[in-house]
Structure 1
Amino acid sequence: MKRKFIAAAIGVLIAPLLTVVLPAGTASAHGWITSPASRQQQCRAGTVACGEIKYEPQSVEGPKGLRNCHGNVARFAELNNDGKGWQVQNVSRTQPFSWQITARHRTSTWEYYIGGTRVASFNQGGQQPPATFTHNVNFGSFTGRHKMLAIWNVADTANAFYVCVDVNIR
């Protein structure tokens, strides 16, 4: 009995120490647009000098309903900086956008916005997306330079993933 008590006491004392000493694993969530190069992709590739987002382009997750590039994640706030030198991607009026998904959450919808106008929506009906896929987005009458916001609405949580792409629609 005494040995069990000592072993339990040691476990209680060592467990918190191990959580501080052992390295944390990397995040395995969730997804971003790789082509045309989104702001996250430009950070990842080193095209634009960025902070932590260059290591976690997939992690811009926040509550559903936001309309910003950083999903209200303070450490990724630089994604909202329109003066940072983002490379503008020349795109057609109907343009494919390719996603890389690292954690395949069941999905309700994918939405694409120019300003406050939703230009495309794709209903996935709660299905899991593949690890890579493409949406063809029709920009309608929009032309010229814009910041496009893409939103991945997860079906089984209150969160979404946010991605911005600077585009020049020809």
Structure 2
Amino acid sequence: MHNKRRLALAIGAGIAPLLVVTMPVSPASAHGYVSSPPSRQAQCAAGAIECGPIKWEPQSVEGPKGLTSCSGGNSRFAELDDDAKGWQVTPIGRSQTFSWRLTARHATGTWQYFAGGKKVAEFNDGGARPPETVSHTVDFGGLTGRQKILSVWNIADTANAFYACIDVTIGG
């Protein structure tokens, strides 16, 4: 009986590494992006712009808090930082509702919106877990013309945030 147990353990120990190597890898946990008006990654996912790997994971533009890049500092998604890429521009009024589509509902610190390098709005969720869709109405005050809006979802319990850029024409 003792020999059978040893044999079973030896076989298990030999097979375990093979199982780990051959089992399918699940994708990384997904997160969120601005779906309306269409962010740059939403345009990529819809096939409106050729963008590389972001097409398959528009919700994954994650990086350290405090960045100002559309790619969240992620070199795999550097195309999102290219302002000359031909992004579709959405005409909006002086205030606009932005909708985030969340595929993982992280505890949320704040949602921030920047235009022209300045913060134009911030919404504090105080650590709450948001629903699958979150919307914020942002008032742009006196801003007009073509703008790149940087939207940031700051996660409450990590050092990271999710980033999305939306190209708009305010007042037109």
Quick one: distance in 2 between partners of 1:4 and 1:84? 63
Shift of 1:146: 1.3
1:75 positional shift: 1.0
Measured in 2, the distance between the counterparts of 1:135 and 1:12 equals 53
Change (3 A) 1:47 1:2: same
TM-score in terms of structure 2 length = 0.92
The equivalent residue for 1:37 is 38
2:102 corresponding residue in structure 1: 101
Secondary structure of 2:154 counterpart = strand
Report how far residue 13 of structure 1 moved. 3.4
| Partner AA of 1:106 in structure 2 | A
**1:102-127, Cα deviation, whole Å (9 max, x unpaired):** 10001010000113200000000110
What is aligned with 2:137?
136
User: How much is the aligned-residue C-alpha RMSD, in angstroms?
Assistant: 1.4
**Structure 1 residue 26, shift from structure 2 partner:** 2.6
Amino acid aligned to 2:101:
Q
- CA, structure 1 residues 12+149, in 2 after alignment: closer, same or farther (shift >3 Å)? farther
Q: 1:16 to 1:100 in 2, by over 3 A?
A: same
Flag the 1:127–1:5 CA change in 2: closer, same or farther, 3 A. same
CA distance in 2, matches of 1:64, 1:17: 39
Counterpart of 2:67 in 1: which secondary structure? coil
Aligned length: 170
SS state at 2:43 partner: helix
Q: Distance in 2 between matches of 1:3 and 1:82?
A: 67
- Rg bigger for which structure? 2
**Amino acid of the residue matched to residue 149 of structure 1?**
L
Summarize the Cα distance change of 1:10–1:77 in structure 2 as closer, same or farther, 3 Å threshold.
Answer: farther
Residue of structure 2 in register with 1:16 after alignment? 17
Offset of residue 92 of structure 1: 1.1
Spell out, residue by residue over 1:60-115, the C-alpha distance to the aligned partner (whole angstroms, 9 max, x if none): 11111111111122211111111111101111110000110110001010000113
1:32-111 correspondence to structure 2 within 5 Å: 32-111=33-112
**What secondary structure does 1:162 align onto?**
strand
Give unmatched runs, 5+ long, in structure 2.
none
Q: Which residue of 2 aligns with 1:112?
A: 113
